């Protein structure tokens, strides 16, 4: 009885992770970060922290129908390299006008990690890698 519930719970957690694209089929994805000139493992601790910061510090303006003059932004509005460029060059209007000022360099790096794993071109039909 207890055992059956445990199995159901494990399956539920697995499905939840799968739906988030966080199960990499045993393969870790790496992102080369041009800012720090280092490779970053796209692990849950980074992408989850990035997801939370993206929701609180980017989607706070970029939600649909906002009155802040910001376009509706989705994680797949950019390719993986496109997101890297946004964070490396910081040449989007909000990065230049100080809207990113309260975010630390580490905050920005994990938001970049999150967006990289959810970018437009993360799913490659030619490879056996899962989404993300």
Binding residues for ligand HEC (CB under 6 A): 57-58, 60-62, 68-71, 73, 77, 86, 92-94, 99-100, 103, 111
List, in sequence order, the alpha helices (H) in the chain: 2-19, 44-57, 80-89, 93-96, 105-117
Q: CA of 121: how far to CAs of 51, 104, 117, in Å?
A: 18, 27, 9
Rank residues 52 and 68 by Cβ distance to ligand HEC and give the closer one.
68
CB of 82 to ligand HEC, least distance (A): 8
What residues contact 50, with CB distance under 8 A and at least 6 apart?
A: 110, 111, 112, 113, 114, 115
49: phi then psi, degrees, rounded to nearest 5: -60, -40
Rank residues 70 and 131 by Cβ distance to ligand HEC and give the closer one.
70
CB of 81 to ligand HEC, least distance (A): 13
Rank residues 19 and 56 by Cβ distance to ligand HEC and give the closer one.
56
CB of 78 to ligand HEC, least distance (A): 7
């Amino acid at each position: 009885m207890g055992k059956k519930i445990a199995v159901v719970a494990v399956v539920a957690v697995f499905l939840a992770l799968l739906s988030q694209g966080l199960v990499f089929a045993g393969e870790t994805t790496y992102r080369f970060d041009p800012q720090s000139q280092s490779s970053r493992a796209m692990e849950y601790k980074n992408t989850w922290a990035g997801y939370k910061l993206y929701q609180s510090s980017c989607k706070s303006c970029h939600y649909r129908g906002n009155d802040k003059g910001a376009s509706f932004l989705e994680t797949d509005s950019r390719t993986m390299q496109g997101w890297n460029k946004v964070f490396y060059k910081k040449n989007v209007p909000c990065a230049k006008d100080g809207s990113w000022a309260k975010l630390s360099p580490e905050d920005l790096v994990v938001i970049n990690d999150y967006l990289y794993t959810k970018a437009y071109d993360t799913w490659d039909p030619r490879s056996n890698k899962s989404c993300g």
